[in-house]
Every structure is written in structure tokens, then in C-alpha cells.
Structure 1
Amino acid sequence: MIVLTLLFTGLVRASDDFNVQFITNFVINERKPTFLVYAGLCWKKHDEIKLTKALNKLGVRTSSSLEVKSKFHENAVMFLTDLACDKSEEVIATATSRRLFQFSYRWLVLSNSTDALKMSLLEASPVLATSDLVLAERRDEMYTMTELHKPANNSTMVSTLRGYYNGTFSDVRPRRELYWRRRDLMWHPITMANVIQDSNSTKYYLPRDDRLELQNDAVAKVCWVFAKIAFDMLNATPQYIFSYRWGYKVNGKWSGMIHDIGENRADLGTNCVLFKDRLDMITYTDLVAPMRMRFVFRQPPLAYVTNIFALPFSSGVWLAIAVCSMVSAAALYLASIWEVKIEKSPTQLDGSIGDALLLTVSAVAQQGCFIEPRRSPGRIMEWVFFTALMALYAAYSANIVVLLQAPSNSIKNLAQLADSKDNRDQLHISVHNTISPENGKPHFYGIFDGVERIRKGLFAFHSIVEPVYRRIEQTFLESEKCDLTEVDFINSLDAFTPVKKDSPYLELLRVVYKQIRESGLQAALNKRYQVPKPKCLNKIAAFSSVGLLDIQPVLILMLYGVALSVAIAVCEIIVFKM
């Protein structure tokens, strides 16, 4: 459905078939959906009806009320006014107050050589870089079409030939895309607000692009270099200001960068996170530099989160060992009964199930036993059992050594981090209270101190990850990089470039930013300025000390054994006394 909005105002002016044919051919040449609304038309009634019928044949909807709202998108709306009409001044004033000259509305303005006063009013209007306004000047039986726009409010009007109509429509635009015709801003300044939080030295190094002190405000530096490339492509003069924060609403008023953009001190800013409240003031374009805020930490050792002494073998292997031990104990018991009948010795199995179990447990624990079989059948069974268990013990010990040095990989989200030994509080509120308690000293650390605590382990550091990873690359051993993990705390979306909502450069910046990204320059800039998560290129075994926490299950088992032995001793004393 083609949609065209027509505003005809002023005194009565006879419109002949040539005007109707021109407007109809103009709509056809647009090749866009158009919606027509006309009010205060200064044509004769039959000429108005003739235009409506001609447009209706094209599928163009019309209306005589200026207040009718189109259900279609704004880029389908095109306004038409005639400077020869007396009320055209009111039309221009209304368009200025309602911002109808901005993208994506289209305008067709009819004129003749006697409209000099109203032309001056039009030239004073905010017809800016992305405005699509065509001035059609009629001389006899020919219309000359000219595009009008200003690079800025304080600039002079720029005229560009659009084409002619003398019964045949001629469009001389080199390209139909508006961006390609308006990408020259003629060195008009565009200002960017840069948010710095790490160091005031950024105010010195950012404009120089010298890549010094990259550990400070890397995101702001990438965004600034990216914007400068965009400004060069638009032939604009780059300017900058510095904001102390991104911007939040406090007592109904915005602060920081959002305030600077809203007050027209800046046209765009450094990448910021998407917040719903900010959409009243700004809109977002492309993601330039990733700005990820995460908890960064080393995974705790596997021994801290699980019983590593049960991990070397699967449940099936443990069950097989238990079954084989019971079978071995039964075989030794039967062999000992046969041996006792032949001969007796102090170091010989006495034919009881207790001695058979004692020898079996000694074999499982790889310990010696003072009693043993005396005959060949029993000794062969004992030798096979000890040999099999020795192989299992060697495999078991090797696995334990590996597991003592292995990270757990058990913390993958905020809930697991809150429940881990790194932090025992629950989720966001508890984590925040742990970092900044109400009645205590806040736990805030500099990058150097925080990264060193990460290296020592059992410490989660919340920060923008880029400076953390840069410091890690400088201080960590290769083996220490292999268990690095990050967990999202604020669950935010990616940060995008903010632009003032009604900025005349919004569409130009959207297109040029995408061109820079598609050309690969964005990826090159991010590689040049930012450090990704360190990769584990060569995971080698390193010496790792073993603490009490690593052997906690063994210590607990020993305590249970001591308690059980004491209980058995007490029982034996009681039985003896009785």
C-alpha cells in the first residue's frame, strides 16, 4: 500500500492537469509505500477530486483530515504543500513544532518564482541532514526538482538537483539511498561524550590515540577511535567531551553522559548498557566494544567440592572390588580349614572367618599381615589377590595425584558461586551485602590487588573483565590460566552506542557504523585495544601443595576408624570383665 500525506493550504489556486500528472508521476517514481492526507486544499473541488482519483488508481489512500493518524509506519508518510497558498506559512510552522521535517517523513513542496518570502521561511526551518524534502519549482510547463537540506541548524541550505518533469519524469539522483546523498556533513562538528572511570589520564591519552595506558578505560578508547572513523566517513569534524559516569536518573533528572546528550552538549556517547528509562532520552545503534561486567575467579580445587577419593573408580569398579574381596576371603577361609587339619603354626590362619577377613583387608589396604597360609593353594590365592590389588592401587594413586591438582568446574552461574566456598551468601542481595556490608568496611580492591587475590585462589573479583584479563596476561603462569571462570552478576545485555533520540545524524551514524563493522575495522580495533579471556594453550603439570582440605575425607575416615576401634576396645573390656 503506497501512502502519501498531502497538506494543501492557502487561497484558491487553480490546479490544472499538469500538476496532477506531476504529483502522480512523483509518487510512482518514489517506489515506496505512500499515504495521502490533504487539508485546506486551495484547488478547485473538481481538481482535488481528480488528484484523489488518480492516486486511488495507484493504491494510494487519501484523507481530508490533517489529524488522521496513519496505522502505517512513518516512512510511508509524505507531506505536500504549496508555497503559493497563504496558509503554507502555518504549515511550515506546524511541521517545525511537530518535528515533521525529520527522518523518516518525506516532503514535496510546490513553488513558483513569486514565493521568495515563503522560501526564506522554509530555509529557516530545521531541514537537516537526514530530511527528505524536494522543492518543485514550476516554470511554464516544466518542474525543476531540487533537494534541500542543512548539515546543521546554523548552516546554510544546500541545494542538490533531483530531476525534471516536462511530461516525462527525469530523476538524476546518482543513488536512491538517502545516506549516499547526505554523507558529506561539510566539516560540521559532531561531539561525542566519553565516559572515563579508571583514570583521569584518559583525558590526555584518548584524543592522542597513542595506545598508552591501555589498562585504563579501554572501552572508551575503542568507542572514540571507532567514532572518529565514522566522522571521517561523514566528512564531519570530531569533537569530544568527558562525562564522569554513564548516567542515571536521580530525583527525576539525568546525570552523566545521558544528561550531556539530552542537553545537546553531545550527539552520541560511549557504549552503555540498555536501560528502559534511558529510551526516553536516547536510542541505541551498534555494539562497538564489548563491555562485560563479571565475577572473575579461578575454579576451586576439585578436592574442595567433592570427595576425590571416590572418583578414581566408577561405581561398577568399586562393586567389583568388593565382590572379589568377599570371594577371596571365602576362598582363604576354606583353604585355612584344610590346612589346620594337616598342621598348626602360630603364624598360620587358624581356620576362622576372622583371620580370613583380616588378611583380605590387609591386602586391600596394601598392608602386611603376620598370619598367612602355609600351603601352596592358599599362598597362590594370596599372591594373586595381592598382585591384582597392587595394580588397582597404582592406578588409584595416580588418579588421586591428578585429581588433587584438577579444578572443579563446578561453578558456572551466580547461584553456584553464592553457595561455593568463594562466597556463601545467596544471590544478588547477599552478594552485594557481602561486598558492601551495612556495618563494616566495604570490600573493594584495585585491579592489581584483585587479580593477585584471584591468582591465589578462592577469591571472586567483580569488574569489567578487559582490564582484569590484561593484568592476568601479565602476571599469571600458563598453568594458572586454565581454570579461569567468569560469572555474570547483573545479567545485563550488551552495551550499545547511545545517540540522541531526535538527532539529525542518527540514521547516518547507524549506516556508517554498520559499514565499519562489516569492513572488519571493528574487529581489528577490539583486537588492538582489548584483551580477550586468556586461553589455556599449554596445560602442563605443576607442583601443587596438599592441604588439610584436600585430604578431608581421609581424615574423617580415620576419625571414624579411631572411634570404632575405641568402641570395640570398650566392648572387649566389658566382655572380659563379665
Structure 2
Amino acid sequence: MFIKSRNTERKLYDVTSIPIEPKMNILYTFFSIIHLRTILGIDMITIDFIKQFVENEQAPTFLILCNICWRPDLQVTLMKNLTRSGCSSASLDTKSKYHDHYTMFLLDAHCPGFDDVIASAISRKLFATPYRWLILDDRQHELHPDWPMYSDSDVVVAQRTEDGYKMTEIHKPSNSSSMVYYPRGYYNATTATLADTRPSRTLFRRRRDVMGAPITMSNVIQDSNSTQYHLPREDRLELQYDVVAKVCWVNVKIAFEMLNATPRYIFSHRWGYKQRGEWDGMINDLHTGNAELGTNCLVSDPQRLSVITYTDTLSSFRVRFIFRQPPLSYVSNIFSLPFSSSVWVAVAVCAAIATAAFYVTSKWEAKGGTSPTQLDGSMGDALLLTMSAVSQQGCVLEPRRVSGRIMLWIFFAALMALYAAYSANIVVLLQAPSKSIRTLAQLANSKLTIAANDVDYNHFVFKLYPDPVRVAISKRLEPEKGRGQFYDIKDGVERIRQGLFAFHSIVEPVYRQIEKTFLEYEKCDLVEVDYLNGFEPLVPVKKDSPYLELLRIVFKQIRESGIQSAVNRRMQIPKPHCSGQVAAFSSVGILDLKPVMLLMVYGTLLSVGILFVEILFGRL
């Protein structure tokens, strides 16, 4: 029978006709909830004790009578008493697994089939959270010490006394530990009162002392085997290798001390991926029970959720593409950028006006005679003089009169100031980085070399996403023909410094190497682009681990107290800060001068074309 404790409902239903959730239907069928057998010693004291015990839980409760062999009238009396106290039976026809938190099993050790019920509960892992148990037993020797009632179990054994019932809470800190008994309270039949003597109603506060139980952590190391020596000693040496694993271990060891657990560790050389139906690496250690928890990992593979549970983050790290923004000259024509379009239009208008003025002046001067160095009054000579002034080259032809020379001097002076501003802007733009690559799509369409750190996870994560942008990046990283673009940290960081190179890795070891090798001005244009688009890395714990809730709470306490932040700041390096734009020599390559080179090529071709036209015109 299923009895739900709710103060708002006071109706009683025949639950045998109510549809039951498939999972609970199995329990209902196996336990044979009502056995019409008679047993002595069950009276109103027991019924009132059960009613007050359920009320004292102060939580919604589905009460399952497991293999109860009482007389039918006593079972009906129990249900009536629960109904009068605000309890009602209810259907479990729900798709929410969180209703398991309401489930409480009532078991009488005197009824036949007690061992079968216990064996079935063990096989179905019903002694673990979130299920609750109330076992009526006058002979505690029937409770076998090998039963898996660990730190997350909520099992109460009620023993009949002369005055009523004495309640005892039992659990085992670990598989190798003996059963631990804690007084839960007592029920006084004379006064019909139940006293709860628990120091706290929160299970975590009662179970946080695991009494030295060994808890094993699987640590992922991929950079250097020396981590196996430095990690357990916490000597903060060689932090350029596997710093994520070292930070996680320090925080986890603090958590073990808070739980009074004995720390143990093993090492794995990969995070863990499913290949040919089998898990490997750290995930396999958790799946097989060799470890209870592991190193922080990204929530990138949904298949892992079948064998592990994520808790909290202990070592914040990011996996990104890191690169220097390409120079502005690689993505734009810097020779058109110094002035806006309106300035260029104004320069063209001024040049046209100056050409017209020189033409009028030369016409007037030509009436008094000409010389070889004097403008002959044609539009071609006036245009040639104007173009010479614009390009700051000068011309052998010049006005002879004072008015024309004053006009020429003013025009050259104005263009000289314009030329100085233009040249200064060109020098600045040659050294300026662009902001052209900010997203993954822009990176995929850029001309940067795409590469990755040659570690285990980079050979898997690029194959997890089917969208076109990530597929394009994956193909550039690992082409069908040729060698894949994988480098170690030192080579990758050096190529980042040289430019036009995007390197995918955990950012912390990259930034540590950058601090050692980059000049100050080279740190100013570093950019990160996220490929995985994942959440913060979380600590994986073995699914259904009895320490899951204990670890989850102490991890949050470590973070809220500031310990986690202090450990991260002590052992990790943040993104290098740009201390200011420092003047430095910057070489100019052919690619920087591409627009100028194209202009020269087009001008040469145009001049050759004009030459052939002139030759043809002369012969005709």
C-alpha cells in the first residue's frame, strides 16, 4: 500500500485499483504488499508509533508496506490513523523520478520472507538515497553487517521496549567498515509521544564524518609523468605540467579532511571516451569502481551521464583557440584607411580646382611668350603639375608669373601637411592589429593556420560536433591527406608569437608559456575563441556513489569560503595583461604593401598600353 503524507488531503482510496508507475509496480509486485497472515505483538502502540514516525518526518511520504503479514483489520486501522492525521493514499502515476524522494518502506522483520525482501532491495539499490526505511525488529542480530547501507542511506530500526519503541539509525561509512549505530529517538507509549534525538535533521550533518573511510580520486595527467611525483606532495613544482589536476587534488584533499576521509589516488592518462562500446581513462575508473571521483572535466560528451554524475567545479579552466589578431594590413587596404571618404572627395575636388586654376594662369602667361620650363597653357601640363604636387614629387614645368607661383606654393604647402598626416597614420596602421576575428565562423573563414595541442582530448572533441563551421575547422585541423596540425605547448606558443596561427588548448599552460617568451607589446592582441561552447568544468563522481551528496556539499563550502579561489590564484596564471602599447620596431612585408604593389603593377600595365597606343597613333 502507498500512503502519502500530506496535511492538506484527508481522503482514503483503495490504492489497489490505481495505476502505478512501472518502476514502483515492480516493487509492488515483488514485495506482495499484503500477506493475510496473523502475527502476535502488533497492537495500537505499533500503529500509533508508525503514524507519529511518518508525521515526524515532516516531508511528503509514499509509505510502502513491504511483506507486511499483519491481520487485515490492523492494516486498515493503520491506514485510518494515517488518514486522520492528514495522510492520504495517492497514485504514483508520474513520469518524474523525483517522486522517489517521497518513498518510505515499512518492513517487519518478524514476517516471513524478510531475507528475500532485503536481498531484492540490495539488488535494486533501494538502501541508497533517496529512499527511506523503517524496519520493525526486536532482534538486531538479524541485520547483517554486510548489507550496503552506506553514508547516503536513511535506515531506521525500531526495537520494541517495555515503554514503547527505541529507534536506531544504522549505516556503514565504507564497504570495509562495520555497521555504525546512532540513537534516533524513542516513542513513549504511556504518553503517546515520539522524541527525535537527532542532532540535525539534515542527513549531511549527521553523516559528514566518514570515520577515516578511504576515498579514491582518479587524476588525469597528460603533460608529464613527473606529475605522479609532485601531485601527492603538493610541492607546487613544475606547475607548467598538469596544473588542473594539481589544483583539483589540493581542493579534493581539503574536502577529504572536512569529511574525515582517508585520501587515496590513482592516475590516468586520458579523460575517458567510449570506444567500441567500452569506456577508457578516468571515466572507466569511475565506472568500474576503482575511484569515486575524478579530475575536473568539461561536460562535452552526453554519453558520460550514464555512468557518472557531475557535482561542482574545483579548478576553473577554459579550452580555447588562442591566437594573435592578424595585422590590419592583412584584412584591409590600410592605404585607404587614414582618411574618411569625405576627406578623399575633398582632396579630389581641391585637385580639380587647382588644375583649373593652373590652366587659366598658364593660358594668360602663354600670351607673353613661353620657355622650355614654362607651362604652355595646355590642360595636360596643368594636370601634370597638379598630380606632381599631390604625389609630392615636383615638376620641371612651373609658372613664371608671381600669381601662378603663389598659387603653386599654397597648393604644395597644403598637400605637404596632408601628406605628413597621411604618412603618420600609415605607420600606425602598419603596427595595429585588426579586430576581424571574434567568432568561430570568422576563424573558420580566415587564413590563419589552425592547430591544436597534441594531447588526448584534442583527438576526440573536434569530432563531436556536426555543424558546418566546426566540421570545416576539424577538416583544416586533420585533413584527409597529409599530416594533422598538432604541436606541443612550446612549439604552439612560439608559432602564436610569430602570428597567423590559432592554437587550441587549455589556456592556462599556454598563458604560462606566453609569460615566459612574449614581449609586452606582443601580449596586447591575444584573442580567445571558444570551439566547444561548453559549461564550466565539473568534478565527475561515480553514479550512485554513497559520497555524492557529501562531496557536493563540501565542494560548495570550499568555494563559498574562498579556499578554492585562493588555491586557483596561487597555482594558475590568468590571461596576460597588456601593460600598454610599447613602441617597437615592426618589419613590413610584401603583404603589407600589397595595395601599393598592385597599384604599381596596374600603372605599369597602363603605361605600356598607352605606349602602344601612341606608337600606333604615330604610324597612322
Query: What TM-score do you get using the length of structure 1 for normalisation?
Result: 0.92
Q: Tell me by how many angstroms 1:527 deviates.
A: 1.6
Aligned pair partner of 2:169 in 140, 147, 168: 147
Q: Look up the match of 1:400.
A: 426
Q: Look up the match of 1:136.
A: 158
1:549 aligns with 2:595: no
Counterpart amino acid of 2:146?
A
Q: Look up the match of 2:209.
A: 184
1:272 aligns with 2:297: yes
Task: Give the Cα–Cα distance (whole angstroms) in 1 for the partners of residues 389 and 557 of structure 2.
Answer: 73
**Are the structure 2 counterparts of residues 86 and 313 from structure 1 closer, same or farther at C-alpha, using a change threshold of 3 Å?**
same
Task: Give the Cα–Cα distance (whole angstroms) in 1 for the partners of residues 356 and 134 of structure 2.
Answer: 104
Task: Give the Cα–Cα distance (whole angstroms) in 1 for the partners of residues 85 and 295 of structure 2.
Answer: 46
SS in 1 for 2:449: coil
**Are the structure 2 counterparts of residues 386 and 59 from structure 1 closer, same or farther at C-alpha, using a change threshold of 3 Å?**
farther
- Check conservation: 2:489, 2:510, Cα contact below 8 A: yes
Counterpart amino acid of 2:64?
V
SS in 2 for 1:78: strand
What does 1:473-552 align with in structure 2 at a 5 Å threshold?
A: 473-552=515-594
- Check conservation: 1:38, 1:62, Cα contact below 8 A: no
Aligned pair partner of 2:503 in 461, 464, 467: 461
Q: Tell me by how many angstroms 1:194 deviates.
A: 1.0
Could you tell which deviates more after superposition, 515-524 or 349-358? 349-358
Q: Look up the match of 1:575.
A: 617
Could you tell which deviates more after superposition, 511-520 or 232-241? 511-520
- Check conservation: 2:251, 2:314, Cα contact below 8 A: yes
1:62 aligns with 2:104: no
Could you tell which deviates more after superposition, 501-510 or 249-258? 249-258
Q: Look up the match of 1:559.
A: 601
Aligned pair partner of 1:315 in 334, 338, 341: 341
SS in 1 for 2:418: helix
Question: CA-to-partner distance for each residue in 1:150-172, whole Å, 9 max, x for gaps?
Answer: 10122111111222222223222
Could you tell which deviates more after superposition, 347-356 or 565-574? 347-356
Task: Give the Cα–Cα distance (whole angstroms) in 2 for the partners of residues 355 and 24 of structure 1.
Answer: 114
Task: Give the Cα–Cα distance (whole angstroms) in 1 for the partners of residues 523 and 529 of structure 2.
Answer: 16
Question: CA-to-partner distance for each residue in 1:402-433, whole Å, 9 max, x for gaps?
Answer: 11111123222333333323238995455445
Q: Look up the match of 2:52.
A: 25
Q: Tell me by how many angstroms 1:438 deviates.
A: 4.8
1:110 aligns with 2:142: no
Q: Tell me by how many angstroms 1:144 deviates.
A: 2.0
- Check conservation: 1:192, 1:239, Cα contact below 8 A: yes
Q: Look up the match of 2:410.
A: 384
Q: Look up the match of 2:514.
A: 472
Q: Look up the match of 1:303.
A: 329
Question: CA-to-partner distance for each residue in 1:492-521, whole Å, 9 max, x for gaps?
Answer: 444321111011111111111111111111
Identity %: 58
Question: CA-to-partner distance for each residue in 1:129-185, whole Å, 9 max, x for gaps?
Answer: 011112222213422222111101221111112222222232222222111110101
**Are the structure 2 counterparts of residues 61 and 153 from structure 1 closer, same or farther at C-alpha, using a change threshold of 3 Å?**
farther
Q: Look up the match of 1:261.
A: 286
What does 1:29-428 align with in structure 2 at a 5 Å threshold?
A: 29-38=56-65, 40-57=67-84, 60-62=87-89, 73-112=99-138, 115-118=139-142, 120-121=143-144, 123-166=145-188, 167-274=192-299, 275-341=301-367, 344-423=370-449, 428=470
Q: Look up the match of 2:12.
A: none
SS in 1 for 2:382: helix
Task: Give the Cα–Cα distance (whole angstroms) in 1 for the partners of residues 194 and 67 of structure 2.
Answer: 28
Task: Give the Cα–Cα distance (whole angstroms) in 2 for the partners of residues 520 and 343 of structure 1.
Answer: 93
Could you tell which deviates more after superposition, 293-302 or 416-425? 416-425
SS in 2 for 1:41: coil
Unmatched tracts of structure 2, length 5 or more: 8-23, 452-467
Question: CA-to-partner distance for each residue in 1:297-333, whole Å, 9 max, x for gaps?
Answer: 2222111221111111112222222222222322333
**Are the structure 2 counterparts of residues 576 and 39 from structure 1 closer, same or farther at C-alpha, using a change threshold of 3 Å?**
same
Task: Give the Cα–Cα distance (whole angstroms) in 2 for the partners of residues 34 and 362 of structure 1.
Answer: 95
- Check conservation: 1:35, 1:60, Cα contact below 8 A: no
Counterpart amino acid of 1:357?
L
Task: Give the Cα–Cα distance (whole angstroms) in 1 for the partners of residues 542 and 530 of structure 2.
Answer: 29
Q: Tell me by how many angstroms 1:16 deviates.
A: 3.3
Counterpart amino acid of 2:227?
T
Question: CA-to-partner distance for each residue in 1:470-499, whole Å, 9 max, x for gaps?
Answer: 111111111111112233344444432111
Task: Give the Cα–Cα distance (whole angstroms) in 2 for the partners of residues 537 and 482 of structure 1.
Answer: 8
Q: Tell me by how many angstroms 1:186 deviates.
A: 0.5
Q: How many residues align?
A: 573
**Are the structure 2 counterparts of residues 435 and 70 from structure 1 closer, same or farther at C-alpha, using a change threshold of 3 Å?**
closer
SS in 1 for 2:527: strand
Task: Give the Cα–Cα distance (whole angstroms) in 2 for the partners of residues 37 and 475 of structure 1.
Answer: 68
SS in 2 for 1:460: strand
- Check conservation: 1:404, 1:546, Cα contact below 8 A: yes
Aligned pair partner of 1:16 in 43, 49, 52: 43
SS in 2 for 1:203: helix
Unmatched tracts of structure 1, length 5 or more: none
- Check conservation: 2:5, 2:55, Cα contact below 8 A: no
- Check conservation: 2:293, 2:542, Cα contact below 8 A: yes
Task: Give the Cα–Cα distance (whole angstroms) in 2 for the partners of residues 71 and 552 of structure 1.
Answer: 65
Question: CA-to-partner distance for each residue in 1:97-140, whole Å, 9 max, x for gaps?
Answer: 1111101111122233xx2443x23x432110011112222213
Q: Tell me by how many angstroms 1:208 deviates.
A: 0.6
Q: Tell me by how many angstroms 1:466 deviates.
A: 1.6
Q: Tell me by how many angstroms 1:343 deviates.
A: 5.4
SS in 2 for 1:165: strand
- Check conservation: 1:3, 1:36, Cα contact below 8 A: no
- RMSD of Structure 2 on Structure 1 (CA): 2.7
**Are the structure 2 counterparts of residues 64 and 480 from structure 1 closer, same or farther at C-alpha, using a change threshold of 3 Å?**
closer
Task: Give the Cα–Cα distance (whole angstroms) in 1 for the partners of residues 413 and 95 of structure 2.
Answer: 91
Task: Give the Cα–Cα distance (whole angstroms) in 2 for the partners of residues 85 and 156 of structure 1.
Answer: 26
Q: Tell me by how many angstroms 1:543 deviates.
A: 0.5
Q: Tell me by how many angstroms 1:385 deviates.
A: 2.5
**Are the structure 2 counterparts of residues 71 and 456 from structure 1 closer, same or farther at C-alpha, using a change threshold of 3 Å?**
closer
Query: What TM-score do you get using the length of structure 2 for normalisation?
Result: 0.86
Q: Tell me by how many angstroms 1:294 deviates.
A: 2.6
Task: Give the Cα–Cα distance (whole angstroms) in 1 for the partners of residues 91 and 475 of structure 2.
Answer: 63
**Are the structure 2 counterparts of residues 64 and 525 from structure 1 closer, same or farther at C-alpha, using a change threshold of 3 Å?**
closer
SS in 2 for 1:109: strand
